[in-house]
Amino acid sequence: MTCECHEIDYMSGLLPCAEGYRMKDGSDYVPGKCCQFKVNEKTMSMGQYFGVCKFIPGEPGTLFPEEVYQFLIRPLPTLEEGVESEALD
């Protein structure tokens, strides 16, 4: 089992109006390339995941982009905050 996460353009998910990630070659995202997807589909064990994946978000030494990790863990606005900001517009 090998890590294929390097083929995913994680920064593409941060683009305005992005519907998700793209592959580095510009093609549509291929879920089967992501190690976490492989774990979810039971084609990779958690032990294999931690042993081979180079893109584990938040792990020391990861190749997963820090900007994307920070985006994923950011606090989301509450419903009340969303209503207040819309009322101000």
Which ranges in 1-89 belong to alpha helices (H)? 35-40, 46-52, 66-73, 79-88
Residues contacting 89, CB < 8 A, separation 6+: none
Task: Decide if pLDDT at 85 tops 60.
Answer: no
Query: Model's pTM, two decimal places?
Result: 0.75
Closest to 10 (Cα-Cα) out of 26, 19, 21: 21
Q: Give the mean model confidence (pLDDT) for residues 43-55.
A: 96
pLDDT for the residue 81: 64
Q: List, in order, residues 6 or more apart from 2 with CB less than 8 Å away.
A: 52
Percent residues over pLDDT 70 in the chain: 87
